[in-house]
Structure 1
Amino acid sequence: MQTHFSEAARAKPHIHEADRILRTCVHCGFCNATCPTYQLLGDERDGPRGRIYLIKELLESDDGDEQVTQETQLHLDRCLSCRSCETTCPSGVEYHKLLDIGRAEVDRRVGRRPGERALRLGLRTALVEPKRFQALLALGQTFRPLAPHDLRDKIPPRQRPGSRGRQARPAPTRHARQMLILEGCVQPGLAPNTNDATARVLDRLGIGVSAAPEAGCCGAIDFHLNAQAAGRQRMRANIDAWWPLIEQRGGTSSAQAGVEAIIQTASGCGAFVKEYGEMLADDPEYAAKARRISELAKDLVEILREEDLEALGTSDSSARLAFHCPCTLQHAQKLGGAVEGVLARLGFGLAPVRDSHLCCGSAGTYSITQPTLARQLRDNKMNALEAQSPDTIVTANIGCQSHLNGAGRTPVKHWIEVVDEALMA
């Protein structure tokens, strides 16, 4: 794709990066075939190719150009950032990076309506601090029957960790092999059993799991709500929380015995932490540490697929599962099929799922900022997941899990919980 930036414009880092990405696009349109919003709306501007043109026109225009309107902002907002288009693209266009640039620029020029600003600030305030989120969640659960319908399906019933008398987390110090785990910001409140189940399963494989108490939200919520400076500050805070434990347990060389990995059980967090090195590459104080953190970041399935699963035993469960592969697992981390492979090795029966590449509509905070589209995508996804009448639907991301459960249909769990339950049966 030809671009028409001046030399002065190209000297700006974000324009230089956008120019590089735009020039890789051959506007073939293959991306539209796998874009969820294009499939629903049929508008070129609601597909990746159209959005690329909108961003190009935006960046090539002057600040006072009337073409930069709230309509452009709307079409960019409607994008799920699912990155299905990147998996499809034959030219390797890094669309998600271009989208971040375009969203930041259009927000700078157009701004936001007061209601939108309040909603986005409220999401950033409520979701990123675990204790605050859990307090608000408990309040919402108490008054759930009185909540409006659109909000009610986003408030899950209370879950209690350590159910069925199981030890919540085995002591990690009894194992030579050690890994850190990112607790996450909303997962401890919405699905407290997920990380406990992870610790129990890995304990059976001789791996101790512990968390850095000071580590918090990965930064994705701030970053994707266009508070990118705040998102990067959360990255730095997490690096500061993890770094002493990495140094204490073996330094920064992967050849040394120590922390083998930083596990993420939410694929959205995993995709983001794996990009710390790239997003902090220009920070002289954090660049090297961020690269090391990204090297250590592993989705849970990356750990289990390399282990001797016979040590866990096979599942005696007759339950049939349908796996929803989150976009952040299959498109961002390129781990499509990995969870299904682990579950099959453990003896679980898996139902086929049509259109498994399409997003469920959760997409971080998308289900709140774009509720109508998110609900349509959720219902389509549930229809596909339930087509073979599975007993349980499993996934690998807390956002997808909560969003799909909001339909009130077949129960949705994290896949490691089903593994843990089968092993403890």
Structure 2
Amino acid sequence: MQTNLADFIRDTHEGKEAEAILRSCVHCGFCTATCPTYQLLGDELDGPRGRIYLIKQVLEGKAATAKTQSHLDRCLTCRNCESTCPSGVQYGRLVDIGRKIVEDQVPRPLAQRVARTTLKTLLPNKWLFNPAMKAGQALRPLLPQALKNKVPPKQNAGIWPSRTHTRKMLLLDGCVQPAMSPNINSATARVLDALEVELIVPPKAGCCGAIRYHLNDHDGGLNDMRRNIDAWWPYVDGSAGSKVEAIVMNASGCGATVKEYGHLLMHDPLYAEKAREISALTRDISEILPAFEAELQTRLKGKINKRVAYHPPCTLQHGQKIRGQVEGILRHAGVDVQLCADSHLCCGSAGTYSVLQPDLSYQLRDNKLRNLQATAPQEIVSGNIGCLTHLQSGTQTPVRHWIELLDEALRH
């Protein structure tokens, strides 16, 4: 794709990256066929190819409009298009760059500004979000359905293992997961403890940065990333007492972002090298457990006699390019695990998308649930807190993290 970037962006790091991405696109349109929003709306500008054209126009100096902003807002950033693209177009990075430029050019209506400011202030801050979630759970029966969908019933966190082990790994606690579904982190710690690996949660680590960054607050998101690097570094270089061998992620949205720290901070002279090492150490829990496959198979044999439907989060299968790992782990543990039709498509959660684009989000949720229910599951499992909460809001079938399934079996 031929480009002629405008002066305001041409010689910047973002401009050079965007130009390289644009030039790799050959207009083939394969991406359109797998774009969830295009499938719902049938508008070329609500598919990746159309959005690429809109971003190209803005980068070449054409003034962005509210319509431009709306088409970019409706993108889920599921990155399904990247999995489909034969040319390797890094669409996710391009849309981040394009959205930020459009955000700076197009003033949003007051209601949108309030909603987005609330989300990027509330969600990444545990000291705000945790009490808000507790209040919501206490009042849950009285909440309107739209709010109730975002407030899961109160869950017992379970016991965090107290044993110490020679092998140690870090765990990103996350910003919303400890309040919404605290058993996920405890279950992860218990499973690894059973395999003689100790999980450490540095208290000063917090939001991975995805929430602010994808709401076009790039500075705020990058600062979240720097804070995490500072919190983790003593455990990475060994100055905290012992070196960890990995940074474990059990929320695939966080994992996809942390694995990109090295790229996002590559031009920061103080953090570039550390960010690269942090990204290299980061592993989804599904990348950790295959090394223990034989032991898990022996200890779990015959313990999980149920049929589950697995929903692969977009941030795992398209963002991190991890496919087949979770299904393999579960099947080796004796689980009857099924993938539904169109398992490559987004469930509609997509971080804050379900709040900001509810109509599209709930259409995608209902489509996904129909396909999942068609497999006749006793449970639905996934690997990202947003997907879990979003799917559970539309079904009576239990929805939980797949690591909780293994944890429950290991304890019985």
Bin for the TM-score computed over the shorter chain? over 0.9
Per-residue displacement from partner, 1:129-155 (whole Å, max 9, x unpaired)? 123211101111222233222222221
Partner of 1:414: 401
Partner of 1:229: 219
The one of 364, 377, 399 equivalent to 1:377 is: 364
Q: Compared with structure 1, are the counterparts of its residues 331 and 315 closer, same or farther at alpha carbon in structure 2 (3 Å cutoff)? A: farther
Instruction: Give distance in 1, aligned partners of 2:143 and 2:161.
Output: 38
1:275 equivalent to 2:275? Answer no
Instruction: Give distance in 2, aligned partners of 1:74 and 1:394.
Output: 32
The one of 120, 129, 147 equivalent to 2:143 is: 147
Partner of 1:254: none
The one of 131, 134, 138 equivalent to 2:130 is: 134
1:259 equivalent to 2:244? Answer yes
Instruction: Give distance in 1, aligned partners of 2:147 and 2:400.
Output: 21
Identity among equivalent pairs (%): 55
**Scaled by the length of structure 2, what TM-score is found?**
0.96
Per-residue displacement from partner, 1:283-338 (whole Å, max 9, x unpaired)? 11111111111011110010001224425432422111100000000001111111
Q: Compared with structure 1, are the counterparts of its residues 108 and 391 closer, same or farther at alpha carbon in structure 2 (3 Å cutoff)? A: same
Partner of 1:367: 354
- Shift in Å, 1:211: 0.6
Per-residue displacement from partner, 1:383-417 (whole Å, max 9, x unpaired)? 11110210000000001001111113311100000
Instruction: Give distance in 1, aligned partners of 2:385 and 2:186.
Output: 14
1:15 equivalent to 2:15? Answer yes
1:317 equivalent to 2:304? Answer yes
Q: Which amino acid aligns with 2:108?
A: R
Q: Which amino acid aligns with 2:271?
A: Y
Root-mean-square deviation (Å): 1.5
Q: Classify the secondary structure of the residue corresponding to 2:246.
A: strand
Instruction: Give distance in 1, aligned partners of 2:380 and 2:203.
Output: 31
Instruction: Give distance in 1, aligned partners of 2:8 and 2:71.
Output: 28
Greater Cα shift, 360-369 or 344-353: 344-353
Partner of 1:118: 114
Instruction: Give distance in 2, aligned partners of 1:420 and 1:171.
Output: 16
Q: How many residues align?
A: 410
1:288 equivalent to 2:273? Answer yes
- Shift in Å, 1:258: 2.8
Partner of 2:32: 32
* Structure 1 contact 21–93 (Cα < 8 Å) conserved: yes
Q: Compared with structure 1, are the counterparts of its residues 39 and 292 closer, same or farther at alpha carbon in structure 2 (3 Å cutoff)? A: same
Instruction: Give distance in 2, aligned partners of 1:18 and 1:258.
Output: 37
Q: Classify the secondary structure of the residue corresponding to 1:305.
A: helix
Instruction: Give distance in 2, aligned partners of 1:13 and 1:383.
Output: 44
* Structure 1 contact 250–259 (Cα < 8 Å) conserved: no
Q: Classify the secondary structure of the residue corresponding to 2:16.
A: helix
Greater Cα shift, 6-15 or 32-41: 6-15
Q: Which amino acid aligns with 2:112?
A: E
* Structure 2 contact 381–400 (Cα < 8 Å) conserved: yes
Q: Classify the secondary structure of the residue corresponding to 1:260.
A: coil
Q: Which amino acid aligns with 1:180?
A: L
Structure-to-structure mapping, 1:78-117, within 5 angstroms: 78-117=74-113
* Structure 2 contact 125–175 (Cα < 8 Å) conserved: yes
1:329 equivalent to 2:320? Answer no
Q: Which amino acid aligns with 2:52?
A: I
Structure-to-structure mapping, 1:70-85, within 5 angstroms: 70-85=66-81
Q: Compared with structure 1, are the counterparts of its residues 330 and 238 closer, same or farther at alpha carbon in structure 2 (3 Å cutoff)? A: same
Q: Compared with structure 1, are the counterparts of its residues 249 and 149 closer, same or farther at alpha carbon in structure 2 (3 Å cutoff)? A: same
Q: Compared with structure 1, are the counterparts of its residues 100 and 262 closer, same or farther at alpha carbon in structure 2 (3 Å cutoff)? A: same
- Shift in Å, 1:350: 1.1
- Shift in Å, 1:339: 0.2
Q: Classify the secondary structure of the residue corresponding to 2:283.
A: strand
Partner of 1:242: 232
**Scaled by the length of structure 1, what TM-score is found?**
0.94
Instruction: Give distance in 2, aligned partners of 1:315 and 1:200.
Output: 20
Q: Which amino acid aligns with 1:233?
A: N
Instruction: Give distance in 1, aligned partners of 2:126 and 2:318.
Output: 27
Q: Which amino acid aligns with 2:45?
A: R
Q: Which amino acid aligns with 2:349?
A: S
* Structure 1 contact 73–107 (Cα < 8 Å) conserved: yes
- Shift in Å, 1:374: 0.3
Q: Classify the secondary structure of the residue corresponding to 1:23.
A: helix
Q: Compared with structure 1, are the counterparts of its residues 13 and 146 closer, same or farther at alpha carbon in structure 2 (3 Å cutoff)? A: same
Q: Which amino acid aligns with 1:2?
A: Q
Instruction: Give distance in 2, aligned partners of 1:6 and 1:187.
Output: 42
1:400 equivalent to 2:387? Answer yes
Instruction: Give distance in 1, aligned partners of 2:279 and 2:301.
Output: 32
Q: Classify the secondary structure of the residue corresponding to 1:38.
A: helix
Q: Compared with structure 1, are the counterparts of its residues 9 and 324 closer, same or farther at alpha carbon in structure 2 (3 Å cutoff)? A: closer
Q: Which amino acid aligns with 2:136?
A: G
Structure-to-structure mapping, 1:166-185, within 5 angstroms: 168-173=159-164, 175-185=165-175
Q: Compared with structure 1, are the counterparts of its residues 283 and 343 closer, same or farther at alpha carbon in structure 2 (3 Å cutoff)? A: same
Q: Which amino acid aligns with 2:351?
A: G
- Shift in Å, 1:111: 1.9
Q: Which amino acid aligns with 2:99?
A: R
Q: Which amino acid aligns with 2:36?
A: P
Greater Cα shift, 197-206 or 36-45: 197-206
Per-residue displacement from partner, 1:215-270 (whole Å, max 9, x unpaired)? 0000000000011100000111011111112222699xxxxx83110101000000
Q: Compared with structure 1, are the counterparts of its residues 27 and 169 closer, same or farther at alpha carbon in structure 2 (3 Å cutoff)? A: same
